[in-house]
Amino acid sequence: MIIPVAKSTLSLWLRDVGLAKAQKQRITEARMAAQRRGADRRREIRLAQISEINQRARKDRKAISTRELHLMALMLYWAEGSKEKEWRRGSGVIFSNSDPRMIKFFIKWLIDCMNVLPQNISCSIYTHDSHRYSIERVKEYWQKIIGPKLPLITQVYFKRNKIMTKRRNTGETYFGLLRIRILKSSVLLREITSMIDVVCDKVC
């Protein structure tokens, strides 16, 4: 049935008419359903875009040369590795991260490009105090990442949790971070620093 009255007029006439609880519930459910459909559609679009980007990247991917690996690792260490300070001379190579692929990448560089012996690579875990109960699972996870050639991980350091925290990395998929330290590597650190300086001088 079509009422020959403007919407604004109807709104004025009916503004004091309330909706029943069931009617309000149906409207709310309809809005929530529409929101879910919109969210599902946006997720489909996002996943399709990611898939397309990954396909293009794989199509363009070529073998990484030793030189390219070396340059990438230098920049990675420049960003994430420890640095020798004026007040702390003699410090060695230390690299910490929670990304397992980054850890694998860095270890490969140390062994393949910098000729570091696996037995001279010491790894330790840094995690939150609330993960004491699952530390064996965490150790197994990182040991699998670094591989059987490296020494077993024995050192674990726990960070005391704050009572009020906004951290989201607290579930079963959280494994803390791994710190890689090269034994007796103060000279190696200076070599790495010098190579980073050479790269920066050519670029900057």
Q: What is the pLDDT of residues 65-107, one digit of tens each?
A: 888 889 999 999 999 999 887 666 668 999 999 999 999 999 9
Reported as a single tens digit per residue, the pLDDT across 166-189 is 655 566 778 999 999 999 999 999
Residue 12 located in a structural domain: no
Q: Are residues 33 and 90 in the same domain?
A: no
Distance CA 131, CA 153 (A): 16
Same domain, 72 and 140: yes
* Residue 85 sits in the same domain as residue 54: no
- The predicted model gives 7-15 an average pLDDT of 63
The partner residues of 94 in beta bridges, in order of sequence, read 181
Domain identity same for 144 and 52: no
Give pLDDT, residue 102. Answer: 95
> Are 166 and 89 in a shared domain?
yes
Q: How many separate domains does the chain show?
A: 2
Confidence category of residue 5, pLDDT binned at 50, 70, 90:
low
Residues 57 and 71 placed together within one structural domain of the fold: no
Residue 9 domain-assigned (yes or no)? no
- Distance (Å, rounded) from C-alpha 196 to C-alpha 194? 5
In a domain, 5, yes or no: no
CB 118 within 8 A of CB 150: yes
For residue 121, the cross-strand partners are 182
Which has the closest alpha carbon to 189: 88, 111, 93, 87?
A: 93
Q: Is residue 15 part of a domain?
A: no
94 and 188 inside one domain: yes
Say if residue 163 is in the same domain as residue 132: yes
pLDDT of 81 reads 93
Residue 167 lies in a domain: yes
Domain of 44 in residue numbering reads as 21-61
One domain, residues 136 and 84: yes
Check: CB of residue 110 under 8 Å from CB of residue 140: no
Q: Quick one: pLDDT at residue 31?
A: 77
Question: Is residue 75 assigned to a domain?
Answer: yes
- Distance of alpha carbon 171 from alpha carbon 137, whole angstroms: 13
One domain for residues 28 and 114? no
Least confident of 27-36, 54-63, 88-97, 127-136: 54-63
- In tens, the pLDDT along 131-150 reads 788 889 999 999 999 999 99
- On whether both 88 and 148 belong to a single domain, the answer is yes
Establish if 32 belongs to a structural domain. Answer: yes
What does the buried/exposed string (b/e) look like for 5-24 if buried means 16 or more CB atoms within 10 Å of the residue's CB?
A: eeeeeeeeeeeeeeeeeeee
Last residue of a domain, one of 46, 61, 76: 61
Please report which confidence band the pLDDT of residue 21 belongs to, taking 50, 70 and 90 as the band edges. low
* pLDDT recorded at residue 195: 93
With CA atoms as reference, report the closest residue to 83 among 70, 74, 75, 94: 94
Indicate whether 77 and 49 sit together in one domain. Answer: no
